[in-house]
Amino acid sequence: MRIALTGSKGQLGRALLEVLKEDEVLPLARPECDITQLESLKACLEKFKPEVIIHAAAFTDVDGCELDPEKAYAVNALGTRNVAVAALESGAVMVYVSTNEVFDGTASEPYWEFDRPNPVGVYGRSKLAGEQFVREILSRFFIVRTAWLYYHGGNNFITKIIRAADERGSLRVVTDEVSNPTYALDLAVAISKLIRTNFYGTYHFTNSGYCSRYDFAKLILELSGRGNVPVEPITSKEWVRVAKPPLFTPLRNFAGAQIGITLRPWEEALKAFFQREPGLMRSDGG
């Protein structure tokens, strides 16, 4: 399959490059292919004639989006419109990767694909605006929402927890922010299966099960040999940050499961991640 891939240097982009080895993949990245510049994007795609465009590029810094809403909308909303226009003009199916943060986090059960989005922050609102462009411009698309992504070499929750543990020796982590930690490799495998179907529409792909940031941090420390590092449970009210992310946003994979696409439990995925990361392990941590 001929696949163009935006965000090819990001966490999911690199995981997709690893998974789509049998396909003909055109990696797109800045500075040559800036999604905010339609002409640059079209020039990048001109000769390739993709059958599928996977759009994994985004402005993913949630606090940064809150501080710079114009950049958030330029990249996440208008940039996605540009990718959708490019997909329309090249006749390609588009995959748009979206987020758990399109929901407001006030539910008591995980969100499924039929729940109504109601984002509370700039990041979630700008990503939802991207979804709307995709729905308005294209008839053949997949919108894949995911959550709490991590991959090797990424700047993610795992690397932040390990860095903080090694620098400070103890941690404070929130117990009331809850979602699904997701290994980008597993998400990439699920996307690779999805694009070989014609079941267009919206999907929730995360590793199965969910947990709080606190539980996630505890398992990261245990699996990386730092189980003796003390972790104080706190609430998000006690954790000062620019953005106020929605609190309870686990996603339920209903639509994918109907066509046989499921992801393994988050704890198993995290173990698999650490098996490939001997450099992150500490042996004296209990």
Binding site residues, ligand NAP, CB under 6 A = 6-7, 9-13, 30, 34-36, 56-60, 75, 79, 97, 99-100, 127, 146-149, 154
Token pair for residue 157? Answer: 């929750």
Nearer to ligand NAP, 203 or 227 (CB): 203
Q: Provide the minimum distance between the beta carbon of 215 and ligand NAP in the complex, in angstroms, as a whole number.
A: 16
Q: What is the DSSP string of 232-273?
A: EEE-GGGS--SS---SB--B---HHHHTT----BHHHHHHHH
Question: Nearest Cα to 92, choosing from 57, 59, 55, 56?
Answer: 55
Nearer to ligand NAP, 74 or 285 (CB): 74
Q: How far apart are CA 259 and CA 216, in angstroms?
A: 29
Token pair for residue 103? Answer: 């929901």
* CA-based end-to-end distance of the chain: 47
Strands 211-212 and 52-55: unpaired
Q: Provide the minimum distance between the beta carbon of 136 and ligand NAP in the complex, in angstroms, as a whole number.
A: 18
Catalytic residue among 123, 150, 151, 214: 123
Residue whose beta carbon is closest to ligand NAP: 10
Q: Provide the minimum distance between the beta carbon of 13 and ligand NAP in the complex, in angstroms, as a whole number.
A: 6
Amino acid, single-letter form, for residue 84: A
Q: How far apart are CA 68 and CA 22, in angstroms?
A: 39
Q: How far apart are CA 24 and CA 195, in angstroms?
A: 14
Nearer to ligand NAP, 69 or 225 (CB): 69
Under 8 Å between Cβ of 253 and 182: no
Active site residue 200: no
Q: Provide the minimum distance between the beta carbon of 94 and ligand NAP in the complex, in angstroms, as a whole number.
A: 13
Nearer to ligand NAP, 6 or 253 (CB): 6
Q: What is the DSSP string of 125-180?
A: HHHHHHHHHHHHH-SSEEEEEE-SEE-TT--SHHHHHHHHHHHHS-EEEESS-EE-
Q: Provide the minimum distance between the beta carbon of 241 and ligand NAP in the complex, in angstroms, as a whole number.
A: 15
Nearer to ligand NAP, 35 or 92 (CB): 35
Q: Provide the minimum distance between the beta carbon of 284 and ligand NAP in the complex, in angstroms, as a whole number.
A: 30
Query: Within 10 A of 234 (CB to CB), how many other CB atoms are there?
Result: 16
Nearer to ligand NAP, 103 or 214 (CB): 103
Q: Which positions are catalytic?
A: 123
